[in-house]
Amino acid sequence: MKAKSTTKPKAKTKTNTAKSIDRDQLSVYLADLLQVNRVKDYCPNGLQVQGKSTIKKIVTGVTASLALIDAAIEEGADAILVHHGWFWKNDDVRVVGQLHTRLKLLMEHEINLFAYHLPLDLHTELGNNAQLAQVMGWIDAKASSAAFHGAVEGLVWRGKTNEAQRTLGHLARSLASRLGRDPLVIGDLNKPVKNIAWCTGAAQGYITEAIAMKVDAYISGEVSEPTFHAAQEVGIAYIAAGHHATERYGIQALGQHLWKKWGVEHQFIDIPNPI
């Protein structure tokens, strides 16, 4: 079942009083807001599929899956705004199979698809890392100034836990409660945890950098086999809190920002994903 949350202007009557925005105007605004030219990404950022020129309703979601497209059609969306879009670096360029099915639906209903990957991770207010810190109540949260392994500066964040998260066990329980997903935890649950680093999504590979930052724990979305050994041998705690679970908040914040600025109706649709 799809869990849905809606952000829309309050109207005194049943008449839809939401405003609209021109597709190209929105594209230019988002490119500037998210500084898409700042980063070399694995996919195109911005308008990926062209639809209607006038946008009255935006649906946001984490990934441009078939389930999200179906839900957006049902809700009468003119545009879908996601973190994980299409046309990744190593994808098959042919429009066949899964891509054909998804693209055909968008084209038939003239729905625009906008996607922002690393630019949404990096944004210091609306980004995934910034929003995760707000959800978790982490203190002194800020982007690291270091650029690791050629990654863009500011991709890994650091901060401090709050008073209710002072051990690894407490931090894990707080993540489970606030994200609605039990995390995978590597380390002693009684270990004191104060200084932490994090990067949402599939950023487990940055554990080496977290170690260099001398933090007590590193939080990301996923885990790989080498992650366990790195954590065990150095003594840093590691938490895999879920790729989808850690990246739900940036796209919602972006949709809410557009509603507040332009008055365009916005609805976030969460397609559950255990990864």
Cα dihedral 174/249/121/227 (nearest 10): 30
Residue ranges per domain, the chain? 3-120+247-270, 123-241
Which class does domain 123-241 fall in?
A: alpha beta
> Which CATH number, 3.40.1390.30, 3.40.190.10, 3.90.180.10, 3.40.50.2000, labels domain 3-120+247-270?
3.40.1390.30
Q: Are 147 and 202 in contact (CB under 8 A)?
A: no
Comparing CA positions, the residue from 245, 246, 205, 212 lying closest to residue 226 is 205
Ordered per-residue pLDDT tens for the chain, 275 residues: 444 444 443 333 233 456 999 999 999 999 999 999 989 999 999 999 999 999 999 999 999 999 999 999 999 999 999 999 999 999 999 999 999 999 999 999 999 999 999 999 999 999 999 999 999 999 999 998 765 555 568 899 999 999 999 999 999 999 999 999 999 999 999 999 999 999 999 999 999 999 999 999 999 999 999 999 999 999 999 999 999 999 999 999 999 999 999 999 999 999 999 99
**Whole-angstrom distance, CA of residue 234 vs CA of residue 30:** 41
**Whole-angstrom distance, CA of residue 210 vs CA of residue 236:** 9
| 3-120+247-270 shares its CATH topology with 123-241 | yes
User: For the chain, what's the residue count?
Assistant: 275
